Chain A
Amino acid sequence: MGYKEKANPFKVLLNKFKWIGTTFHKGDNLTKLSFVIMGLSNLLRGQIIKGLTYMVLEISFIFYTLIYGINNFIGLLTLGTKQQNMVYNEESGIYEVLPGDNSMIMLLAGVTTLFVILFFIVVWVSSIKSAIHVQELKEKGKKIPNIVTDITSLFNTNIHKLLLTIPIIGLVLFTVVPLVYMILMAFTNYDVNHQPPGNLFTWIGLKNFKLMLLSNDKIAKTFWPVFGWTMVWAFFATFTCYFGGMLLAILINSKGIRGKGFWRTIFVITIAVPSFVSLLIIRVMLAEHGALNILLQELGFITKALPFFTNPTWARVTVIIVNLWVGIPHTMLITTGILTNIPADLYESAKIDGASPIKTFLKITMPYMLFITTPYLITNFIANINNFNAIYFLTEGNPATLDYFKGAGKTDLLVTWLFKLTIESKDYCYASTIGIMIFTISAALSLIVYRRTGAYKNEEGFQ
């Protein structure tokens, strides 16, 4: 490998700046002029189409900035100043709506403008690169590549540009831009009382975070318990499914069980049924007047309906247990392959030494499995923090409680609360704040994983 890869974005940026400086220094007048008039160097040195493309891009960017860009940018800073008003129209004798600024559209437009500027900077840097490149080729007396060779290079040396264009467009448009927009929202007061177009919302800095984490407000008194339950849930959901699935896999794999494929298929069928269907069915089954309660009452096991979803503690335990039903088959599938990879001689020597099956499990199987699957465990933990389906379809976060901020219930995870805040109560700024908190937790956990896994540190390890 000829060069070292730089992962630190700041260093990458710094190097880019240095490179632009030296390029400006090295370039001849034509190249220096290309810093302002993009594509000039290419155009005058024979790459007509390339040069013209750069120029057209620059002109359209300037037009965009003049017509929309500046306004959008100012809008991003103020988020609107004119509130929607009711004005009495004397001619018709009724109140009319006088449209004001729409903060939400302005924020979105501002973010879009930021990305257009970012895109232009990337194009600008690439135009400089191409300008100096063509200058160097000319100085060395080499042939200047025409548009056809440029295009064919896309299938060879520059294939990454060809293959990554669509993925990156998709990512930017539907993931990055919306995400930046929502992150910015966490720093505004875009809650139910500040809904555009009727009202304006504005920047309030870190107030939402303070309110949620440090204050004595109801929302803080909701955040911490919900956060605590999210962690408890993620811990139990991850480990019960992990051990349950592993034990099941060991059981199916053990000697003397015939029809291993059949047993596996029975459990795999449950993965194939969409989880919302099976979870909703289980929910109906466990409801107060559901089949299980009625059956148990008729049989005389109980005299009063069991509060599966109405008592907070019962509900929490129920969710974790029902989640076993969903999670065990998954873990079983995953661990089956790894279990068969454990060297058989380890077990044989343990057997000769007279170790009991439990001891073999604790001393051989467990350490080996934990060693291999630590990354999986942590990613699974993160996935469980974000496990929307299991909670929403089973309990919708209920039982609701008056101690909590609107609508949040005792089994709500941070994600389901976020969903409720977005869809039901429209407190977008709080939802975004929670999203950022979830990100912080996941990021901290992921950092531990990715620093530890060999695959990330040493990608060439396989070869």
Chain B
Amino acid sequence: MKNQIIGLNIKSLRKIPILGLLLMISFFFPYIEIKSEGIRIAGYRLFLETMNRLNDGGNYIVFIYAVILGIFILSVILSSIFVIVKPGKKSVILSICTYIFNFTGAILILFTITKTINGSGLLSIKFLISYLSSGYWIFLFGSLIGLILSLRAAKMNPGYIILVIMGIIWVFPIAWIIMISFRLESGSYTSYFWPKEFTFKNYLVLLTDSSKFPYLKWFGNTLFVSVFSCALTTFIVLSTAFTLSRIRFSGRKLFMNIVLILGMFPGFMSMIAVYYILKGMNLTQSLIALILVYSSGAAMGYYIAKGFFDTIPKALDEAACIDGATKWQVFTRITIPISKPIIIYTVLTSFMSPWADFIFARVIMGDDYEHYTVALGLFTMLSRENIDTWYTRFAAGAVLISIPIAILFITLQKYYVEGLSGSVKG
């Protein structure tokens, strides 16, 4: 083998055939071991056995297993030989493909083997994963290591493997919500992930049948509340932050300290009192009450915007003042136009919060379905008496609110990060 090949990591490359040999040996280890029955089958025998049974008219899934197993052996041999004989880009890529195939294949076997064996009636007892023996596990982890080695050899980052696995874990619950929303069978606890039948009915019922839960109305309510509370919040945050950043007045530090202290009490500790104050104003069970509650405390979130305003040079204001601008003009004509990131951040976060909050909405709205917000309404669908019929529709409703928010969020992600990192610096 040559000592240097451009674009490849020779050290890892040399290890690939060694690993391949190890994987070959694993076929002589027991793949299945059931001590109570005295069964012990090595990998190669598993292959031969299934081939034999095929002649006796075994079912086709067993045949597929045998083929996969055969391809495993064949591909490992081929790619190892190829790497030894012709070390280069092509052989490494072949090796990567081999091990991706082997690894996913091994995982696939792990998740299907019990169903197949139990379904095929080969065993008199129920097959369990714990019956899989050393040979199989060597093969599983060996192919993972082989994948890492091949990626290394190709000077690619093995981090892809972690990213793919993590990506699957993170996307899975969301993908599952979407699947549930298209599921025909109702009920919340299902033993399977893949729906038996797909349908659009959940969406249709949710959007058209408002006799029990008026989803469209809730959607409109939430939109109404979030638009107005977002406008009010943005105004409050910007004006508070601007004043505290730019104007020096007596009581400024006092105000900042009071706000700091207020922020340390748990937010909904006072919800009962808020409820009675709203009742005194004759505003309970109305959307205006929600707007007031969501935006009235906005001044407490001035920090991030103030931090941003602090970085705008004072000279800019002073120059404008010399030219005869009033402070109001400085605020509206100079500060606001150059504060786009922070305005978008404030708008985004305040627009999103009514879609997710349910505590205040629940306290204020009571049982007045007509005035519910989406979050509260969706939560009611999961109450004990509704969950069986409404679970799939709940999923559909959740998907419907998540889509616009997700789009908004992903397109404005840049500003969100800027705002967040503003808060990190404290």
Residues of A within 8 A of B (CB): 1, 3, 5-7, 9, 12, 104-105, 108, 155-157, 159-160, 162-164, 166-168, 170-171, 173-179, 181-182, 248, 251-252, 254-257, 263-278, 280-282, 284-285, 287, 289-291, 294-295, 298-301, 303, 325, 329-330, 333-334, 336-338, 372-373, 375-376, 379, 382, 386, 388, 415, 418-419, 422-423, 428, 431-432, 435, 438-439, 442-443, 446, 449-450, 453, 455-456, 459, 462-463
Asked whether any CB of chain A lies closer than 8 Å to the CB of B421, the reply is yes
Q: B23-31, B133-141, B201-209, B293-301: which one contacts chain A? A: B293-301
Are the CB atoms of A170 and B236 closer together than 8 Å? Answer: yes
- List 9 A-B residue pairs with CB atoms under 8 Å apart, sorted by A's residue number: A108-B276, A173-B277, A182-B272, A267-B167, A276-B356, A276-B379, A285-B176, A299-B110, A455-B426
User: For the complex, what is the distance from the CA of A269 to the CA of B114, rounded to whole Å?
Assistant: 34
Select which of A160, A251, A270, A438 is within 8 A of B266 by beta carbon.
Answer: A438
Least CB distance, B406 to chain A, in whole angstroms? 4
Are the CB atoms of A171 and B265 closer together than 8 Å? Answer: no
Are the CB atoms of A337 and B167 closer together than 8 Å? Answer: no
Contacts of B295 in A (CB 8 A): 170
Contacts of A268 in B (CB 8 A): 409-410, 413
- Chain A residue at minimal CB-CB distance from B269: A435
Q: Is the interface of B mostly helix, strand, loop or mixed?
A: helix
Contacts of A463 in B (CB 8 A): 310, 313-314
Contacts of B157 in A (CB 8 A): 254-257
Are the CB atoms of B359 and A388 closer together than 8 Å? Answer: yes
Select which of A3, A330, A375, A418 is within 8 A of B269 by beta carbon.
Answer: A418
Are the CB atoms of A334 and B236 closer together than 8 Å? Answer: no
User: For the complex, what is the distance from the CA of A269 to the CA of B177, rounded to whole Å?
Assistant: 13
Least CB distance, A437 to chain B, in whole angstroms? 10
Given A177-B273, A388-B359, A418-B266: A273 in contact with B310 (beta carbons within 8 A): no
Select which of B273, B359, B406 is within 8 A of A108 by beta carbon.
Answer: B273
User: For the complex, what is the distance from the CA of A170 to the CA of B130, rounded to whole Å?
Assistant: 63
Q: B49-57, B74-82, B89-97, B241-249: which one contacts chain A? A: B241-249
Least CB distance, B365 to chain A, in whole angstroms? 14
Q: Is the interface of A mostly helix, strand, loop or mixed?
A: helix
Contacts of B299 in A (CB 8 A): 167-168, 170-171
Residues 183-198 of B contacting A (Cβ, < 8 Å): 188-193
Contacts of B65 in A (CB 8 A): none
Interface string of B264-305 (1 = CB under 8 A from A): 111111111110110010000000000011011111100000
User: For the complex, what is the distance from the CA of A431 to the CA of B270, rounded to whole Å?
Assistant: 10
Are the CB atoms of A284 and B193 closer together than 8 Å? Answer: no
Select which of B191, B268, B327, B395 is within 8 A of A419 by beta carbon.
Answer: B268
Contacts of B259 in A (CB 8 A): 171
- Chain B residue at minimal CB-CB distance from A455: B426
Identify 16 new A-B residue pairs, CB closer than 8 A, beyond the known A160-B247, A428-B272, A439-B264: A12-B254, A155-B329, A159-B326, A170-B292, A170-B296, A174-B277, A175-B270, A182-B272, A251-B163, A273-B174, A276-B356, A276-B378, A278-B174, A284-B189, A300-B131, A439-B265
Contacts of A337 in B (CB 8 A): 417-418, 421
Least CB distance, A239 to chain B, in whole angstroms? 16
User: For the complex, what is the distance from the CA of A388 to the CA of B363, rounded to whole Å?
Assistant: 15
Contacts of B218 in A (CB 8 A): none
Contacts of A264 in B (CB 8 A): 413
Given A301-B129, A337-B417, A455-B425: A419 in contact with B402 (beta carbons within 8 A): no
Are the CB atoms of B177 and A298 closer together than 8 Å? Answer: no
Select which of A7, A265, A449 is within 8 A of B410 by beta carbon.
Answer: A265
Given A274-B405, A435-B265: A166 in contact with B239 (beta carbons within 8 A): yes
User: For the complex, what is the distance from the CA of A255 to the CA of B262, rounded to whole Å?
Assistant: 45
Asked whether any CB of chain A lies closer than 8 Å to the CB of B85, the reply is no
Give the A-B contact count at a CB cut-off of 8 A. Answer: 293
Select which of A267, A375, A422 is within 8 A of B426 by beta carbon.
Answer: A375
Asked whether any CB of chain A lies closer than 8 Å to the CB of B383, the reply is no
User: For the complex, what is the distance from the CA of A276 to the CA of B390, rounded to whole Å?
Assistant: 16
- Chain B residue at minimal CB-CB distance from A378: B426
- Chain B residue at minimal CB-CB distance from A13: B254
Given A1-B248, A164-B240, A170-B295: A415 in contact with B266 (beta carbons within 8 A): yes
Asked whether any CB of chain A lies closer than 8 Å to the CB of B166, the reply is yes
Are the CB atoms of A376 and B424 closer together than 8 Å? Answer: yes
Are the CB atoms of B239 and A275 closer together than 8 Å? Answer: no
- Chain B residue at minimal CB-CB distance from A441: B264
Residues 347-365 of B contacting A (Cβ, < 8 Å): 355-356, 358-359, 363
Given A174-B292, A174-B296, A299-B129: A5 in contact with B406 (beta carbons within 8 A): no
User: For the complex, what is the distance from the CA of A418 to the CA of B267, rounded to whole Å?
Assistant: 11
Are the CB atoms of A274 and B126 closer together than 8 Å? Answer: no
Contacts of B328 in A (CB 8 A): 155-156, 159, 162
Given A171-B262, A300-B126, A372-B425: A178 in contact with B273 (beta carbons within 8 A): yes
Are the CB atoms of B296 and A269 closer together than 8 Å? Answer: no
Q: 7 shortest A-B CB distances, which residue pairs?
A: A375-B426, A178-B273, A170-B296, A178-B270, A300-B128, A294-B191, A256-B157
Least CB distance, A308 to chain B, in whole angstroms? 13
User: For the complex, what is the distance from the CA of A428 to the CA of B424, rounded to whole Å?
Assistant: 35
Contacts of A284 in B (CB 8 A): 188-189, 391
Residues 385-423 of B contacting A (Cβ, < 8 Å): 391, 395, 398, 401-402, 405-406, 408-410, 413, 416-418, 420-421, 423
- Chain A residue at minimal CB-CB distance from B169: A325
- Chain B residue at minimal CB-CB distance from A456: B426
Least CB distance, A15 to chain B, in whole angstroms? 9
Asked whether any CB of chain A lies closer than 8 Å to the CB of B121, the reply is no
Are the CB atoms of B248 and A5 closer together than 8 Å? Answer: yes
Contacts of B174 in A (CB 8 A): 269-270, 273, 278
Are the CB atoms of B239 and A167 closer together than 8 Å? Answer: yes
Are the CB atoms of B270 and A182 closer together than 8 Å? Answer: yes
Are the CB atoms of A271 and B269 closer together than 8 Å? Answer: no
Least CB distance, B146 to chain A, in whole angstroms? 19
Given A174-B297, A270-B174, A428-B272: A280 in contact with B382 (beta carbons within 8 A): yes
User: For the complex, what is the distance from the CA of A244 to the CA of B404, rounded to whole Å?
Assistant: 28
User: For the complex, what is the distance from the CA of A418 to the CA of B253, rounded to whole Å?
Assistant: 32
Contacts of A104 in B (CB 8 A): 276
Contacts of B378 in A (CB 8 A): 276-277
Contacts of B426 in A (CB 8 A): 375-376, 379, 449, 453, 455-456
Contacts of A252 in B (CB 8 A): 163
Select which of A163, A173, A179, A459 is within 8 A of B240 by beta carbon.
Answer: A163
Are the CB atoms of B159 and A173 closer together than 8 Å? Answer: no
Asked whether any CB of chain A lies closer than 8 Å to the CB of B122, the reply is no
Contacts of A170 in B (CB 8 A): 236, 292, 295-299
Given A164-B239, A178-B274, A325-B169: A443 in contact with B261 (beta carbons within 8 A): yes
Asked whether any CB of chain A lies closer than 8 Å to the CB of B260, the reply is yes
User: For the complex, what is the distance from the CA of A155 to the CA of B327, rounded to whole Å?
Assistant: 6
User: For the complex, what is the distance from the CA of A372 to the CA of B421, rounded to whole Å?
Assistant: 10
- Chain B residue at minimal CB-CB distance from A385: B266
Contacts of B421 in A (CB 8 A): 334, 337-338
Least CB distance, A320 to chain B, in whole angstroms? 16
Are the CB atoms of A257 and B160 closer together than 8 Å? Answer: yes
Residues 155-173 of B contacting A (Cβ, < 8 Å): 155-157, 159-160, 162-163, 166-167, 169-171, 173
Least CB distance, A302 to chain B, in whole angstroms? 9
Are the CB atoms of B155 and A256 closer together than 8 Å? Answer: yes
Contacts of A280 in B (CB 8 A): 382
Given A167-B236, A257-B163, A300-B114: A177 in contact with B277 (beta carbons within 8 A): yes
Asked whether any CB of chain A lies closer than 8 Å to the CB of B307, the reply is yes
- Chain B residue at minimal CB-CB distance from A373: B424
User: For the complex, what is the distance from the CA of A226 to the CA of B370, rounded to whole Å?
Assistant: 38
Contacts of A255 in B (CB 8 A): 157
Given A167-B240, A171-B300, A277-B177: A422 in contact with B166 (beta carbons within 8 A): no
Asked whether any CB of chain A lies closer than 8 Å to the CB of B32, the reply is no
